[in-house]
Chains A and B, each alone.
Chain A
Amino acid sequence: MSIYLRNIIRFVLLILIQVLLLNRIPLNWWAPPYIAFVYPLFILLLPISTPTTFLMVFAFFTGLTMDAFMNTGGIHAMACVTIAFSRRKVLAFFLPQRLSEYQNATPGPKIMSWGSFLAYAAILMLIHNLVYTLVEIWALQSFWYYLAKTGITFLTSMAFVVIYLLLFTKSVNIKAFD
C-alpha cells in the first residue's frame, strides 16, 4: 500500500473514530465533562521526512474538519497547527539520525521504541490539550480547573492513543512485552 493511501485511510479512520465514538462519550470521571481526543494521532503518524510547512497545512485542515464536526470554530485547527509546528523538534530529540534520512518511514513503535514513541506522543498530545482547553475556556480565572481539565483530557487521550496503536499497528514490537 502506498504511503499516501495509507495516510488517507488513517485520516478517515481517525476522524470516524473521533466523531462517531469518542464525541458520543462525554466522560465524567472527574467533575467537568470532557472528551478524549485521538485524532491528533494523524499528525503524529505522518511520515518522518514530511516538511513542517506541509505538516502545518495538513494539520490545519484536519483541525478544520474536526471543527466542522464539533462546532468549535477554529480551536482544533489552532491546536493542530501548534503541534505540527513543534513536531519536528520533538521528533529530532527522540530519533538518533537526521530526520531526512528516514525515507517514507512512519514514526511508531517499530522505528522508535515503545517508551520513546509514547514520550513523543505524550508531549505533543499535552501541547494539543493545553492549547485546546485554554482557547476553549478562554479565561484563566480558575487556573486549577484549567489544569485539572487539561490533565484528565490528556490522560484519557493517551489511553485511547495506546489502544489505537495496539489495535492498528501491524507488527507490534513484541520485544517490548518481554
Chain B
Amino acid sequence: MRKFLLLIRRFWTLILFISLEVISIYFIAKSRSTQGIDVINSANGTVAYFYRKEQNIISYFNLKKVNTDLLKENTALRNQLFYRQSVDTFKTVDAKIPIFDYDKIDRDQDSNALAPVTMTITENPPLKVVRYAQYRFIPARVINNSISNDRINFITINQGSEAGIKPGMSVVSSVGIVGRVEHVSKHFATIASVLSNRKVSARLKLHEAFGQITWIPGHPDFVQMDNMPITLPIKLRDSVFTTGFASFPANILVGRVSHIDTVKSDNSLSLRIRLATNFRTLAFVYVVVDGMNAEKENLEKKDRSAR
C-alpha cells in the first residue's frame, strides 16, 4: 500500500495531466454527439449574459445598416400591399333568362308549358383580372429638413432622377403624408412638405366628407380643414385620410382631429388636425410613383380644354 501511495506521489503530475485530458476528451465527445447535451456551451447563463451585454453595446454600431435594411423591406412590403389592393376581378356569369310562352295554343296538352325555359348565354366564363393605378414606392433618406419657414418648408432627400423621381410625385412617410416633390437633380430631390401653402385634399374616415387641408403657419404639427358642414357629428381624434384624387394614393393617414371650431359667419366647422407625421424627427420617406398618373392627367387636360 505504501509503495502504491509513493507511486501515486511520484507520478502525481502525470496522473493529474492524464485525468484532466480525459475530462476534456469527455467534454469534447459530449459536444460532438448529435443530441446537443454538451456540458460547456455558450447557452450557459454567465456566458449568455456576457454575450447579451456585448450585443447591447455592439448593436448600436450597425443600427444604420439595420435601418437601411428595414427600409428596403418596408418598401418591398408596401409595393406588394398596393399591388394587391389595386386588383379587381370580375367574371362573366351565366345568365339564366326565364322564357314563359304564354301565347302557345296547345297549352293544355303540355302540362310543362309553364315551366321556364332557361337559356345559357355564355359558357365557361374566363376570369378577368384588372390592374390599375399601380403605385410604386422609392425609399429615401432625409438629409435636410426645415420646419421653421413661414410660407413653404422644403425637405431634401438623397434620391434623385437616377432613382426615377420626377417633380410632382407625392411623398409619404411610414405613418402619414409628407409632401410633394418640387425639384429634382441627379442624386437629390427637394420636397415641398405639407407644411407649406400647397393644399391637399383629404376626407374624414367615418363620415366620408372631404375637403382641403391647409397648413397653419407657425405650427409644424397642425393643419386646418375648413368649411366642413356643421351637421357632421365629428368627434375629437377622428382620423383623416387622403382621398386619392390628386397625386397621393388613397387612404393614407393625414392625422387626427384635435380641435373643432364652429365658424359662425358661414355656419361651418373648422377642424384642426394634428399631423400623423412628425416633421421634427423625419428620417426616412417613400416617394410614390403613380404608374397611371400620366394617363390620368392627359385625360383631365382634355376636360380642361373643353371647358
Contact = CB atoms under 8 A, between A and B. Distances in A.
Pairing of A with B:
yes
Interface of A: 19-20, 52-53, 56-57, 60, 63-64, 67-75, 77-78, 81-82, 85, 135, 138
Interface stretch (B10-18, B177-185, B259-267): B10-18
Given A60-B24, A74-B40, 20 more contacts: A56-B16, A56-B20, A57-B20, A60-B20, A67-B40, A68-B47, A71-B31, A71-B41, A72-B28, A72-B31, A73-B28, A74-B25, A74-B27, A75-B24, A77-B20, A77-B23, A77-B27, A78-B24, A78-B25, A81-B17
B55 to A, nearest CB: 11
Interface of B: 12-13, 16-17, 20-21, 23-32, 38, 40-42, 44, 46-47, 50, 54
B16 A53 contact: yes
Given A64-B40, A68-B42, A74 B13 contact: no
Contact of B12 (A53, A67, A77): A53
A68 B24 CA distance: 13
29 contacts: A52-B13, A53-B12, A53-B16, A56-B16, A56-B17, A57-B16, A60-B23, A60-B24, A64-B40, A67-B40, A68-B40, A68-B46, A69-B42, A69-B50, A71-B31, A71-B41, A72-B31, A73-B30, A73-B32, A73-B38, A73-B40, A74-B25, A74-B27, A75-B24, A77-B23, A78-B21, A81-B20, A135-B28, A138-B32
A67 B40 CA distance: 7
B107 to A, nearest CB: 93
B27 A85 contact: no
Nearest to A51: B13
B161 to A, nearest CB: 40
- Binding site of A, secondary structure by majority: helix, strand, loop or mixed? helix
Contact of B42 (A60, A71, A81): A71
Given A20-B54, A74-B27, A78-B21, A68 B16 contact: no
A21 B53 CA distance: 15
Contact of A75 (B12, B13, B28, B42): B28
Given A20-B54, A56-B16, A64-B40, A69 B21 contact: no
A74 B27 CA distance: 5
Contacts of A60: 20, 23-24
A60 B54 CA distance: 25
Nearest to B44: A68
A85 B16 CA distance: 10
Contacts of B42: 68-71
Given A73-B40, A74-B40, A81-B21, A67 B16 contact: no
Nearest to A88: B13
- Nearest 7 interchain pairs by C-beta: A73-B31, A74-B27, A78-B24, A74-B24, A73-B28, A77-B24, A74-B28
B263 to A, nearest CB: 65
B16 to A, nearest CB: 5
A63 to B, nearest CB: 7
A82 B22 CA distance: 12
Contacts of B40: 64, 67-68, 73-74
Contacts of A72: 28, 31
Nearest to A78: B24
